[in-house]
Homo-oligomer: A and B are copies of this chain.
Amino acid sequence: MVGMRDVAKAAGVSLSTVSLVVNGTGYVSDDMRERVESAMRQLDYVPNELARNFYHDRTGLIGVIVPTIIHPFFSMLTAALQHALAVRGYRTLVCSQADSETGEAEYIDMLQRHMMDGIIMAAHTSHAPGYWTSIGRPIVAFDRYLGEGISSIGSDHVQGGQLIAEQLIRTGARHVVCVGGPRRQFHDLPGDSYSAGSDSGNGYQKASSTTFPTIRYYLTLEYELNKAQIRHDYVEVGEVYDLQRYQRMAHEIFEHRGDIDAIVGSDVSAAYCIQEALRLGIHVPGQLQIIAYDDSYLAEAAGMRITAIRQDFTTLAQLTSERIIREIRGGDDDVTRTAPAEAGKEPSDGSFGASADASRGAAAHLAGTRPLDTVVPVRLRVGETTRT
């Protein structure tokens, strides 16, 4: 391998001169530069980034932890993040939870070992918030709460819930099924406790604090449906890894709940529900409306173009990238981190492209759920699966 030393020798200059030329830092006389450059060309010299990174104690790598890259929501998120990070000079390491035996711990370990500069955490975690806070290296949470001092960014789920509720109420829905993750995921984790909330009135124990902000969309939707006296059920599907379970879920919904006239769920759920409805000859949207929550490309490619809450991947990725890079640049201390929000009190700062989530957060039905630091507006994209 040809190194700087060889170039220096060939050009008859010192190591530092070569370095200056390569990096374009400081002044080098044209003559010197010319000599060095021609030597580089002659020797086919390529700087070894590994050495440079070693010196600077950086890798230029940011890990993105997702449950699995196969799920369309996460594949779009990862793509958007990858793009936003690339624009800012960082490369993306795919960290699929499905491929780590020890769960996210493995990736945190890599972070500690300086195999990457920071981590964007977009997967579910079984660790208590205290764990994340104690890591002391750059971490940003995507759409979840990871503990004090760790920034969190995501869509405005309260707005999402409201948009869906409006659509359903306006079109006269009578019995809505919400499909989502295990409800208990939304709840308290050990080591994280704030003032306890009361019963949600739906038979679900509402947690005092949650690591999973998505719950705010269900809670909002349910709150609005209750107000409008529209019946609603919640159906759990398993983890996102197992796409086949969605299919079974769709089958069971129609088997056991013949009288429903609206389904709300992730775009994967929605796609399978459409397939099943078509199979059963149920008319969509005449007899049944379907609304997808994520709006990945799957919402477009399913049996019909699905009406969907469009999460703004571009903005989300942009804000998340900027945030993690700020943490990396800022060093390891908490200087750049957002001040931890106090329990029950909504932070009034964290608002980039922030919508009114924060102000609305005070509503009673959201009591005890934790708003994200930074929240990005969503919008309803109308497809073929809802009535006007």
Residues of A within 8 A of B (CB): 1, 46-51, 53-54, 57, 59-61, 68-70, 72, 75-76, 78-79, 82-83, 86-87, 91-94, 96, 98-100, 110, 112-115, 243-244, 246-247, 268, 271-272, 274-275, 278-279, 297-298, 300-305
Q: How far is the CA of A249 from the CA of B248 in the complex (A)?
A: 31
A96 to chain B, nearest CB (A): 6
Q: How far is the CA of A11 from the CA of B336 in the complex (A)?
A: 35
Once A79-B69, A243-B297 are accepted as A-B contacts, the answer to whether A54 and B46 lie under 8 Å apart by CB is no
| Contact between B297 and A278, CB atoms less than 8 A apart | no
| Contact between A99 and B83, CB atoms less than 8 A apart | yes
Q: In the complex this chain forms, how many copies of it are found?
A: 2
Q: How far is the CA of A48 from the CA of B100 in the complex (A)?
A: 21
| Cβ-neighbour of A300 out of B53, B69, B243 (below 8 A) | B243
Q: Which residues of chain B have C-beta atoms less than 8 A from A114's C-beta?
A: 48-50
Q: Which 3 A-B pairs have the closest CB atoms?
A: A303-B303, A54-B54, A49-B113
| Contact between B59 and A50, CB atoms less than 8 A apart | yes
| Contact between A115 and B50, CB atoms less than 8 A apart | yes
| Contact between A268 and B301, CB atoms less than 8 A apart | yes
A145 to chain B, nearest CB (A): 26
Which residue on B lies nearest to A86, using beta carbons?
Answer: B99
Q: How far is the CA of A302 from the CA of B304 in the complex (A)?
A: 9
Q: How far is the CA of A57 from the CA of B48 in the complex (A)?
A: 9
| Contact between A115 and B60, CB atoms less than 8 A apart | yes
A353 to chain B, nearest CB (A): 22
A98 to chain B, nearest CB (A): 7
Once A69-B78, A99-B86 are accepted as A-B contacts, the answer to whether A271 and B46 lie under 8 Å apart by CB is no
| Contact between A78 and B51, CB atoms less than 8 A apart | no
Once A59-B50, A300-B247, A301-B298 are accepted as A-B contacts, the answer to whether A94 and B75 lie under 8 Å apart by CB is no
| Contact between B48 and A271, CB atoms less than 8 A apart | no
Which residue on B lies nearest to A83, using beta carbons?
Answer: B99
Q: Which residues of chain B have C-beta atoms less than 8 A from A115's C-beta?
A: 49-50, 60, 91
Q: Which residues of chain B have C-beta atoms less than 8 A from A113's C-beta?
A: 46-49
Which residue on B lies nearest to A100, using beta carbons?
Answer: B86
| Contact between B275 and A278, CB atoms less than 8 A apart | no
| Contact between A75 and B69, CB atoms less than 8 A apart | yes
Known: A75-B75, A86-B99, A94-B94. 16 other contacts (CB 8 A): A48-B57, A48-B113, A49-B113, A51-B54, A54-B54, A72-B72, A79-B98, A86-B96, A86-B100, A91-B93, A91-B115, A92-B93, A93-B94, A275-B302, A298-B298, A303-B304
